[in-house]
Amino acid sequence: MTVYAIIGGSGLADLEDLRNRKSISINTPYGEPSGDIYIGDYGGREVMFLSRHGEPHRYAPHQVNYRANVWALKETGADSILAFNAVGGINHAMGAGKFCVPHDLIDYTYCRQQTFFDKDLDKVTHIDFSKPYTNELRIRLITALAAEGFDFSARGVYGCTQGPRLETAAEIIRMERDGCDIVGMTGMPEAALARELELEYACLALVVNPAAGKSSSEISMAEIESVLQVGVSNAKAVLVRLIGSDLR
Ligand code: HPA
């Protein structure tokens, strides 16, 4: 059976319904992950959970040790990563509260540790990343979103910025021209690292605000919090549905 790991982003720092949990503290050749990995029963099977920003929220997007996180999950036995990410909406169809299961991404980050393949190399390794998300896993997410009846987009291009500041309006216009539908700060290099370790990987993105310049008012943290509150509880329902209905 597929062993799922959930990486929780902003608003999803814990999975309260993870039953009979045990925690695993693991160090890696790449340093410490964001926190302990929790393993427990979720949706009727064993699932792992890791909070991307730590618990309490300690690591800003550019400070997360993505290599340690992905490596630790693989080492603990995960086959498949379901990543939850809060994002801003660029495309007008991506309103606050909507989910998106991106099919592609553009990486605007810099100075992050991007690869496991940078030391003691027998040969240079270039992974195929033409489809950065695992399609099969995306379809499982889309099926669960449809079954729960939430508003979602089954496609989208995720633009990953460096943060921690939000973008300028001009940056968002450029990203829109590039083809980005949503913008976040934590999708990369996580997705590429999962591919390097041959893990399945898909992203459940929750739009929590209109991106910079896309609304007449400034981006409000209070508004983001209130969208997150409902959205995260919906996201948990989607994850339980996916995991509980997958018999592979
Ligand atoms: N930009 C970048 N990351 C984000 C945003 C945004 O507007 N909203 C939530 N994460």
Q: Which residues contact 79 (CB under 8 A, 6 or more apart)?
A: 2, 3, 4, 199, 200
For residue 123, the model assigns a pLDDT of 76
Whether 54 and 35 have beta carbons less than 8 Å apart is answered as yes
Q: Which domain holds residue 150?
A: 4-245
* Residue 4 confidence class, pLDDT cut points 50, 70, 90: very high
How many structural domains are present in the chain?
A: 1
Instruction: Name the residue at shortest CA distance from atom 7 of ligand 1.
Output: 88
pTM for the model stands at: 0.97
Question: pLDDT by residue (tens digit) across 57-87?
Answer: 899 999 999 999 999 999 999 999 999 999 9
Residue 69's pLDDT is: 98
Q: How many A from CA of 182 to the centre of ligand 1?
A: 8
Place of tokens 């700060």: 185
pLDDT per residue over 176-227, tens digit each? 999 999 999 999 999 999 999 999 999 999 999 999 999 988 888 999 999 9
40 CA from centroid of ligand 1 (Å): 30
Q: Does residue 50 sit in helix, strand or coil? A: strand
> Would the CB of 185 count as within 6 Å of ligand 1?
yes
Residue 34: give its domain's CATH number.
3.40.50.1580
Q: Give per-residue burial for 149-174: e unless 16+ CB within 10 Å, then b.
A: ebebbbebbbbbbbeeebbeeebbbe
120 pLDDT above the threshold of 80: no
Decide: 90 in ligand 1 pocket, CB within 6 A: no
Ligand 1 centroid–CA 166 distance in Å is 6
pLDDT one-digit tens code per residue, 145-187: 999 999 999 999 999 999 999 999 999 999 999 999 999 999 9
